[in-house]
């Protein structure tokens, strides 16, 4: 929908897009924005407004994420700034976040704001007062953020932080351990760790825990469990209690993602449907679709998007058949809702032909499952 860039000279001055300044070196901020939430598109990079001195450096934000309803608390918060309330009124979590970061006087304040964000995100924020670039992603790594370690080509780029790999250089995932701060003058990076998280226990005793980064989960070993006979699941009070907790947490997570205030009102004259679910017909996607129905006003249709590459079967893969059964079940259970099953058929030859581009977006991830899921998003 939108592409923007901003060049910051080495000295951290006024900046802009002057080619002569670029020849002297500096930092190039680039953002490509796909408008999916809110009433209006928010161009990026986001820059602080003109300061008292024309040559004074600006704070700069590049952001990819969804902060859900956390920012909507500011609408009713008397202490929230007018700019923050106006940002949320426009459905822009980008502007809401920038308003908070722009007010920070120190790197510790920047780190504190970022560590309190709830929802998937990846961002880079230039703090003009310290001439440092802060970059981070959420504790679960739900948004891509890569650091280019080295390049095989002499392209004039010494270092880069990016959401996708843009060449054949070597990339590593940015750790989810905290806010990383790079001094643009010295070229040195330090990390301000995320604080521990306090979890309320059922016995009333709170517990401080450090969340385990996703990359280490596979090294923790198998978890032993004891199978429970199916006929005991519906009567065991512990199982029922845990199931109720899971339902509550899933339902709350879905409600945050389909907040009506972030969706445009559907128009009878428009074919645009503001909400879709990547739908395999399996348990996960079917449960999410049902929960979405319970939180979304009835006037909104829900698209169930099913992608199939199985040309030899005439696009009748097991997932496609499961999606059709799941669609029938949802229409039977919730007939008042307008459900639309969208069949996306992609010839396998087309997947192979565009495989290089898909893998380029996935790097450094490279498993077969990564490719399958990534291809589904690529062809939507």
Angle at 175 between CA 36 and CA 2, to 5 degrees: 25
What are the phi and psi torsion angles at 356 (to 5°)? -65, -45
**pLDDT, position 90:** 55
**pLDDT, position 19:** 45
- Which residues are CB-neighbours of 93 under 8 A, at least 6 positions away? 37, 65, 66, 67, 71, 87
Contact 88, 37 (CB under 8 A): no
Contact 172, 149 (CB under 8 A): yes
Contact 193, 114 (CB under 8 A): no
Contact 301, 295 (CB under 8 A): no
pTM equals: 0.68
Which DSSP symbol is given to 16? B
Residues of the chain with pLDDT under 70: 1, 10-25, 35-39, 50-56, 68-91, 150-155, 197-234, 261-262, 264-272
H or E, element range at 199: strand 197-199
Contact 2, 41 (CB under 8 A): yes
- The C-alpha atoms of residue 304 and residue 292 are separated, in whole angstroms, by 11
**pLDDT, position 71:** 65
Residue with tokens 């959401």: 163
Edge-to-edge strand order for the sheet containing 160-162? 160-162, 146-150, 170-173
Q: Which one, of 36, 35, 24, 62, lies nearest residue 259 by Cα?
A: 36
| Nearest-10 crossing angle of helices 368-378, 355-362 | 110
Measured in residues, the chain has a length of: 380
Per-residue pLDDT tens digits for 154-193: 667 788 999 988 877 788 899 999 999 999 988 899 999 9
Per-residue pLDDT tens digits for 336-372: 999 999 999 999 999 999 998 888 888 777 788 888 8
Residue with tokens 């010295």: 186
């Amino acid at each position: 929908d939108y592409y923007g860039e901003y060049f910051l000279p080495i000295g951290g001055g006024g900046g802009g897009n002057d080619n002569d300044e670029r020849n002297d070196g500096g930092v190039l901020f680039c953002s490509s924005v796909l408008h999916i939430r809110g009433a209006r598109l928010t161009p990026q990079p986001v820059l602080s407004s003109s300061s008292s001195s024309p040559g004074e450096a600006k704070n700069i934000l590049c952001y990819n994420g969804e902060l859900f309803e956390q920012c909507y608390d500011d609408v009713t918060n008397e202490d929230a700034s007018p700019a923050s309330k106006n940002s949320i009124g426009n459905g822009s979590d980008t502007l809401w976040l920038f308003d908070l970061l722009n007010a920070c006087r120190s790197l510790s304040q920047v780190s504190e704001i970022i560590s309190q964000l709830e929802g998937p995100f990846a961002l880079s924020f230039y703090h003009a007062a310290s001439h440092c670039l802060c970059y981070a992603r959420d504790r679960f790594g739900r948004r891509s953020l890569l650091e280019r370690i080295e390049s095989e080509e002499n392209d004039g780029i010494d270092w880069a932080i990016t959401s996708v790999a843009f060449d054949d250089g070597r990339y590593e995932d940015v750790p989810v351990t905290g806010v990383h701060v790079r001094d643009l003058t010295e070229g040195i990076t330090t990390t301000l760790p995320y604080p521990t998280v306090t979890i309320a226990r059922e016995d009333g005793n709170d517990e401080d825990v450090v969340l385990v980064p996703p990359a280490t989960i596979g090294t923790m070993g198998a978890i032993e469990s004891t199978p429970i006979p199916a006929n005991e699941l519906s009567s065991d009070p512990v199982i029922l209690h845990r199931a109720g907790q899971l339902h509550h947490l899933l339902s709350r997570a879905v409600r945050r993602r389909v907040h009506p205030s972030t969706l445009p009102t559907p128009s009878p004259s428009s074919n645009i449907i503001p909400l879709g679910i990547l739908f395999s017909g399996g348990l996960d996607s079917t449960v999410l679709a049902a929960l979405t129905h319970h939180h979304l006003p009835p006037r909104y249709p829900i698209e169930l998007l099913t992608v199939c590459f199985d040309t030899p079967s005439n696009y009748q893969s097991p997932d496609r058949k499961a999606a059709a059964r799941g669609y029938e079940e949802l229409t039977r259970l919730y007939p008042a809702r307008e459900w639309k099953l969208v069949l996306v058929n992609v010839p396998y030859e087309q997947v192979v032909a565009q495989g290089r581009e898909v893998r380029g977006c996935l790097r450094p991830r490279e498993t077969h499952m990564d490719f399958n899921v990534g291809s589904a998003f690529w062809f939507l």
